[in-house]
Protein backbone atom coordinates (compact mmCIF):
# COMPACT_ATOMS: atom_id res chain seq x y z
CA UNK A 1 0.00 0.00 0.00
CA UNK A 2 2.84 2.34 0.87
CA UNK A 3 4.39 1.66 -2.56
CA UNK A 4 1.09 2.31 -4.37
CA UNK A 5 0.56 5.49 -2.40
CA UNK A 6 4.03 6.69 -3.33
CA UNK A 7 3.45 5.81 -6.98
CA UNK A 8 0.17 7.73 -6.91
CA UNK A 9 1.96 10.80 -5.54
CA UNK A 10 4.56 10.56 -8.31
CA UNK A 11 1.90 10.27 -10.99
CA UNK A 12 -0.10 13.16 -9.55
CA UNK A 13 3.07 15.22 -9.33
CA UNK A 14 3.85 14.52 -12.97
CA UNK A 15 0.31 15.42 -13.99
CA UNK A 16 0.49 18.71 -12.07
CA UNK A 17 3.89 19.45 -13.63
CA UNK A 18 2.55 18.71 -17.12
CA UNK A 19 -0.46 20.97 -16.53
CA UNK A 20 1.76 23.78 -15.26
CA UNK A 21 4.15 23.36 -18.19
CA UNK A 22 1.30 23.34 -20.71
CA UNK A 23 -0.21 26.39 -19.06
CA UNK A 24 3.11 28.20 -19.16
CA UNK A 25 3.57 27.41 -22.85
CA UNK A 26 0.02 28.54 -23.59
CA UNK A 27 0.47 31.79 -21.66
CA UNK A 28 3.88 32.56 -23.22
CA UNK A 29 2.67 31.81 -26.75
CA UNK A 30 -0.44 33.94 -26.24
CA UNK A 31 1.78 36.82 -25.18
CA UNK A 32 3.97 36.34 -28.25
CA UNK A 33 0.95 36.30 -30.58
CA UNK A 34 -0.49 39.42 -28.96
CA UNK A 35 2.80 41.36 -28.95
CA UNK A 36 2.69 44.58 -30.94
CA UNK A 37 5.28 46.52 -32.87
CA UNK A 38 4.79 50.24 -33.25
CA UNK A 39 4.55 50.79 -37.02
CA UNK A 40 6.29 53.67 -38.79
CA UNK A 41 4.39 56.92 -38.43
CA UNK A 42 4.54 57.71 -42.15
CA UNK A 43 1.43 57.07 -44.22
CA UNK A 44 1.43 55.59 -47.70
CA UNK A 45 -0.55 56.72 -50.73
CA UNK A 46 -1.01 54.32 -53.65
CA UNK A 47 -2.79 56.85 -55.84
CA UNK A 48 -1.56 56.71 -59.42
CA UNK A 49 -0.32 53.13 -59.27
CA UNK A 50 0.01 51.22 -62.55
CA UNK A 51 -2.52 48.38 -62.37
CA UNK A 52 -0.99 46.43 -65.26
CA UNK A 53 2.49 46.52 -63.76
CA UNK A 54 1.07 45.59 -60.37
CA UNK A 55 -0.67 42.58 -61.93
CA UNK A 56 2.66 41.48 -63.39
CA UNK A 57 4.46 41.68 -60.04
CA UNK A 58 1.67 39.87 -58.18
CA UNK A 59 1.64 36.96 -60.65
CA UNK A 60 5.39 36.66 -61.17
CA UNK A 61 8.19 38.04 -59.00
CA UNK A 62 6.20 38.32 -55.76
CA UNK A 63 4.10 35.21 -56.43
CA UNK A 64 1.23 36.58 -54.32
CA UNK A 65 -1.18 34.24 -56.09
CA UNK A 66 0.77 31.27 -54.77
CA UNK A 67 -0.87 31.85 -51.38
CA UNK A 68 -3.75 34.24 -52.02
CA UNK A 69 -4.88 32.35 -55.16
CA UNK A 70 -5.58 33.66 -58.64
CA UNK A 71 -8.63 35.65 -57.54
CA UNK A 72 -6.85 37.01 -54.45
CA UNK A 73 -9.59 35.54 -52.26
CA UNK A 74 -7.22 33.67 -49.96
CA UNK A 75 -6.71 30.04 -49.06
CA UNK A 76 -6.02 27.86 -46.04
CA UNK A 77 -2.29 27.13 -46.04
CA UNK A 78 -2.03 24.99 -42.91
CA UNK A 79 -4.88 23.09 -41.30
CA UNK A 80 -3.43 20.83 -38.64
CA UNK A 81 -5.03 20.92 -35.16
CA UNK A 82 -1.76 19.91 -33.53
CA UNK A 83 0.34 22.44 -35.44
CA UNK A 84 -1.72 25.41 -36.59
CA UNK A 85 -4.49 26.79 -38.74
CA UNK A 86 -3.09 29.54 -40.95
CA UNK A 87 -4.74 31.08 -43.98
CA UNK A 88 -3.79 33.63 -46.60
CA UNK A 89 -6.29 36.47 -46.30
CA UNK A 90 -8.95 37.38 -48.84
CA UNK A 91 -7.51 40.64 -50.22
CA UNK A 92 -10.59 41.71 -52.16
CA UNK A 93 -13.48 43.99 -51.19
CA UNK A 94 -15.87 41.06 -50.96
CA UNK A 95 -17.46 39.72 -47.79
CA UNK A 96 -14.74 38.19 -45.64
CA UNK A 97 -12.05 40.24 -47.37
CA UNK A 98 -9.93 43.13 -46.13
CA UNK A 99 -10.02 45.25 -49.29
CA UNK A 100 -12.98 47.34 -48.15
CA UNK A 101 -11.45 48.29 -44.80
CA UNK A 102 -7.70 48.41 -45.40
CA UNK A 103 -6.19 51.79 -46.19
CA UNK A 104 -3.17 52.10 -48.47
CA UNK A 105 -1.08 52.46 -45.32
CA UNK A 106 -2.56 49.26 -43.88
CA UNK A 107 -1.57 47.39 -47.05
CA UNK A 108 1.91 48.92 -46.97
CA UNK A 109 2.46 47.89 -43.36
CA UNK A 110 1.27 44.35 -44.02
CA UNK A 111 3.38 43.92 -47.15
CA UNK A 112 6.63 45.68 -46.22
CA UNK A 113 6.51 45.50 -42.42
CA UNK A 114 4.67 42.24 -41.68
CA UNK A 115 2.18 44.01 -39.41
CA UNK A 116 -1.58 44.12 -39.05
CA UNK A 117 -3.25 47.52 -38.57
CA UNK A 118 -3.15 46.97 -34.79
CA UNK A 119 0.59 46.29 -34.81
CA UNK A 120 0.43 42.54 -34.20
CA UNK A 121 2.71 40.45 -36.39
CA UNK A 122 1.65 38.47 -39.43
CA UNK A 123 2.55 34.80 -39.85
CA UNK A 124 3.87 33.32 -43.15
CA UNK A 125 3.72 36.62 -45.08
CA UNK A 126 7.22 37.06 -46.65
CA UNK A 127 7.56 40.67 -45.56
CA UNK A 128 11.31 40.42 -44.95
CA UNK A 129 11.72 40.02 -48.72
CA UNK A 130 8.99 42.50 -49.59
CA UNK A 131 10.50 45.11 -47.27
CA UNK A 132 12.85 46.00 -50.13
CA UNK A 133 10.00 46.96 -52.47
CA UNK A 134 10.34 50.47 -53.82
CA UNK A 135 7.50 52.92 -53.26
CA UNK A 136 6.66 52.92 -56.97
CA UNK A 137 6.45 49.13 -57.25
CA UNK A 138 4.44 48.82 -54.05
CA UNK A 139 2.08 51.51 -55.31
CA UNK A 140 1.50 49.44 -58.45
CA UNK A 141 0.86 46.26 -56.44
CA UNK A 142 -1.69 47.95 -54.17
CA UNK A 143 -3.39 49.59 -57.17
CA UNK A 144 -3.82 46.15 -58.76
CA UNK A 145 -5.16 44.56 -55.56
CA UNK A 146 -7.66 47.41 -55.18
CA UNK A 147 -8.79 47.01 -58.80
CA UNK A 148 -9.67 43.35 -58.36
CA UNK A 149 -13.38 42.44 -58.38
CA UNK A 150 -14.78 41.60 -54.94
CA UNK A 151 -14.96 37.92 -54.03
CA UNK A 152 -17.07 36.75 -51.10
CA UNK A 153 -14.93 34.31 -49.17
CA UNK A 154 -14.08 33.98 -45.50
CA UNK A 155 -10.83 32.37 -44.38
CA UNK A 156 -10.31 30.81 -40.94
CA UNK A 157 -8.76 32.86 -38.15
CA UNK A 158 -5.19 32.12 -37.19
CA UNK A 159 -4.78 29.61 -34.38
CA UNK A 160 -1.87 27.58 -33.06
CA UNK A 161 -2.06 24.02 -31.79
CA UNK A 162 0.16 22.54 -29.04
CA UNK A 163 3.11 21.86 -31.34
CA UNK A 164 2.86 25.29 -32.91
CA UNK A 165 2.74 26.99 -29.53
CA UNK A 166 5.73 24.99 -28.27
CA UNK A 167 7.68 25.85 -31.42
CA UNK A 168 6.87 29.52 -30.95
CA UNK A 169 8.02 29.52 -27.32
CA UNK A 170 11.23 27.65 -28.21
CA UNK A 171 11.99 30.05 -31.04
CA UNK A 172 11.56 27.47 -33.79
CA UNK A 173 8.93 29.66 -35.43
CA UNK A 174 9.61 33.36 -35.81
CA UNK A 175 7.81 36.36 -37.22
CA UNK A 176 9.08 38.11 -40.34
CA UNK A 177 8.41 41.47 -38.69
CA UNK A 178 11.11 40.71 -36.11
CA UNK A 179 13.76 40.50 -38.84
CA UNK A 180 12.87 43.80 -40.51
CA UNK A 181 14.35 47.20 -39.75
CA UNK A 182 11.00 48.90 -39.31
CA UNK A 183 12.54 52.37 -39.54
CA UNK A 184 14.60 51.73 -42.69
CA UNK A 185 13.93 54.09 -45.61
CA UNK A 186 12.57 52.76 -48.88
CA UNK A 187 13.69 53.64 -52.38
CA UNK A 188 11.28 55.84 -54.28
CA UNK A 189 11.76 53.71 -57.39
CA UNK A 190 13.97 50.96 -58.79
CA UNK A 191 14.26 51.56 -62.55
CA UNK A 192 14.07 48.31 -64.55
CA UNK A 193 17.31 47.51 -66.35
CA UNK A 194 18.99 44.34 -67.60
CA UNK A 195 21.84 44.66 -65.12
CA UNK A 196 23.06 43.22 -61.83
CA UNK A 197 21.69 46.10 -59.75
CA UNK A 198 18.13 45.42 -60.83
CA UNK A 199 18.77 41.68 -60.65
CA UNK A 200 19.82 41.99 -56.99
CA UNK A 201 16.61 43.90 -56.30
CA UNK A 202 14.51 41.19 -57.97
CA UNK A 203 16.34 38.46 -56.06
CA UNK A 204 15.49 40.22 -52.81
CA UNK A 205 11.81 40.96 -53.41
CA UNK A 206 11.42 37.57 -55.12
CA UNK A 207 12.39 35.78 -51.89
CA UNK A 208 15.40 34.01 -53.45
CA UNK A 209 17.33 34.36 -50.20
CA UNK A 210 14.51 32.83 -48.16
CA UNK A 211 15.03 29.44 -49.77
CA UNK A 212 18.53 29.54 -51.25
CA UNK A 213 20.13 31.06 -48.10
CA UNK A 214 21.99 34.32 -47.62
CA UNK A 215 24.89 33.18 -49.82
CA UNK A 216 22.51 31.65 -52.42
CA UNK A 217 24.24 28.28 -52.04
CA UNK A 218 21.02 26.52 -51.09
CA UNK A 219 20.79 23.92 -48.38
CA UNK A 220 17.48 24.92 -46.81
CA UNK A 221 14.78 22.28 -47.04
CA UNK A 222 11.43 23.15 -48.58
CA UNK A 223 8.95 20.36 -47.99
CA UNK A 224 11.82 17.92 -47.60
CA UNK A 225 13.49 19.08 -50.82
CA UNK A 226 16.81 20.96 -50.42
CA UNK A 227 17.04 24.29 -52.20
CA UNK A 228 19.65 24.29 -54.95
CA UNK A 229 22.94 26.13 -55.09
CA UNK A 230 22.46 29.00 -57.54
CA UNK A 231 25.91 30.57 -57.26
CA UNK A 232 28.31 30.45 -60.23
CA UNK A 233 29.80 27.27 -58.74
CA UNK A 234 26.58 25.49 -59.72
CA UNK A 235 25.05 27.44 -62.58
CA UNK A 236 28.08 29.32 -63.85
CA UNK A 237 28.18 27.34 -67.08
CA UNK A 238 24.53 27.99 -67.92
CA UNK A 239 23.84 30.33 -70.79
CA UNK A 240 21.19 33.00 -70.48
CA UNK A 241 18.97 30.90 -72.72
CA UNK A 242 19.37 27.84 -70.48
CA UNK A 243 18.63 29.95 -67.40
CA UNK A 244 15.44 31.33 -68.96
CA UNK A 245 14.32 27.89 -70.12
CA UNK A 246 14.92 26.43 -66.66
CA UNK A 247 12.73 29.03 -64.99
CA UNK A 248 10.04 28.94 -67.66
CA UNK A 249 9.83 25.17 -68.15
CA UNK A 250 10.83 23.90 -64.71
CA UNK A 251 13.62 21.66 -66.02
CA UNK A 252 17.33 22.52 -65.75
CA UNK A 253 19.94 21.83 -68.48
CA UNK A 254 20.72 18.41 -66.97
CA UNK A 255 17.07 17.38 -67.24
CA UNK A 256 16.38 17.66 -63.51
CA UNK A 257 12.87 18.88 -62.69
CA UNK A 258 12.52 21.78 -60.25
CA UNK A 259 10.26 20.30 -57.59
CA UNK A 260 10.20 23.00 -54.89
CA UNK A 261 11.00 26.05 -57.00
CA UNK A 262 7.91 28.19 -57.82
CA UNK A 263 9.02 28.33 -61.46
CA UNK A 264 5.49 28.74 -62.81
CA UNK A 265 5.40 32.18 -61.20
CA UNK A 266 9.06 33.12 -61.67
CA UNK A 267 8.83 32.01 -65.29
CA UNK A 268 6.32 34.79 -65.91
CA UNK A 269 9.02 37.39 -65.36
CA UNK A 270 9.86 39.43 -68.44
CA UNK A 271 12.93 38.82 -70.61
CA UNK A 272 14.51 41.94 -69.13
CA UNK A 273 13.86 40.77 -65.57
CA UNK A 274 15.28 37.30 -66.15
CA UNK A 275 18.33 38.82 -67.85
CA UNK A 276 18.86 41.09 -64.84
CA UNK A 277 18.49 38.16 -62.42
CA UNK A 278 20.91 36.04 -64.47
CA UNK A 279 23.41 38.90 -64.65
CA UNK A 280 23.24 39.36 -60.88
CA UNK A 281 23.70 35.66 -60.11
CA UNK A 282 26.82 35.62 -62.27
CA UNK A 283 28.34 38.23 -59.93
CA UNK A 284 27.77 36.54 -56.56
CA UNK A 285 30.67 34.68 -54.89
CA UNK A 286 31.14 31.06 -55.89
CA UNK A 287 30.20 28.65 -53.11
CA UNK A 288 30.92 24.98 -53.64
CA UNK A 289 28.49 22.53 -52.04
CA UNK A 290 28.36 18.71 -52.07
CA UNK A 291 25.93 18.84 -54.97
CA UNK A 292 28.17 21.03 -57.17
Give the tens place of pLDDT for each residue, 222-250. 777 888 999 999 999 999 999 999 999 99
Task: Tell me the CATH architecture of domain 51-179.
Answer: Orthogonal Bundle (1.10)
- pLDDT > 90? residue 150: yes
Average pLDDT, the chain: 90
User: What's the pLDDT tens digit per position in 69-121?
Assistant: 999 999 999 999 999 999 999 999 999 999 999 999 999 999 999 999 999 99
The confidence score (pLDDT) of residue 28 equals: 78
Q: What is the mean pLDDT of residues 153-169?
A: 88
DSSP per residue over the chain, as a string?
-HHHHHHHHHHHHHHHHHHHHHHHHHHHHHHHHH-B-PPPS-----TT--HHHHHHHHHTTS-THHHH-TTS--EEEEEETTTEEEEEPP-SSSTT-STTT--HHHHHHHHHH-B-TTSBBPSS--HHHHTT--HHHHHHHHHHHHHSPP-----PPPEE-HHHHHHHHTTSS--GGGGS-TT----S-----SSHHHHHHHHHHTTHHHHH-TTS----EETTEEPPP-SHHHHTT--HHHHHHHHHHSB-TTS-B-SSS-HHHHTTS-HHHHHHHHHHHTTSPP---TT-
Q: Where in the chain is the domain with CATH 1.10.760?
A: 51-179
Q: What is the mean pLDDT of residues 16-34?
A: 72
The confidence score (pLDDT) of residue 22 equals: 66
Amino acid sequence: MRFLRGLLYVVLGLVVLAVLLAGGIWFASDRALAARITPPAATFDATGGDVARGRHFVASTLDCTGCHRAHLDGATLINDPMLATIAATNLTRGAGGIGATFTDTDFERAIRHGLRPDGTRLVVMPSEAFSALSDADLRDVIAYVRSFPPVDRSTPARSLGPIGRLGLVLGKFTFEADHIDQAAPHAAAQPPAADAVYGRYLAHIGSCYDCHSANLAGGKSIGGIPAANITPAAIGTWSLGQFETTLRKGVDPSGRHLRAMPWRAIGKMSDLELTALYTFLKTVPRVTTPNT
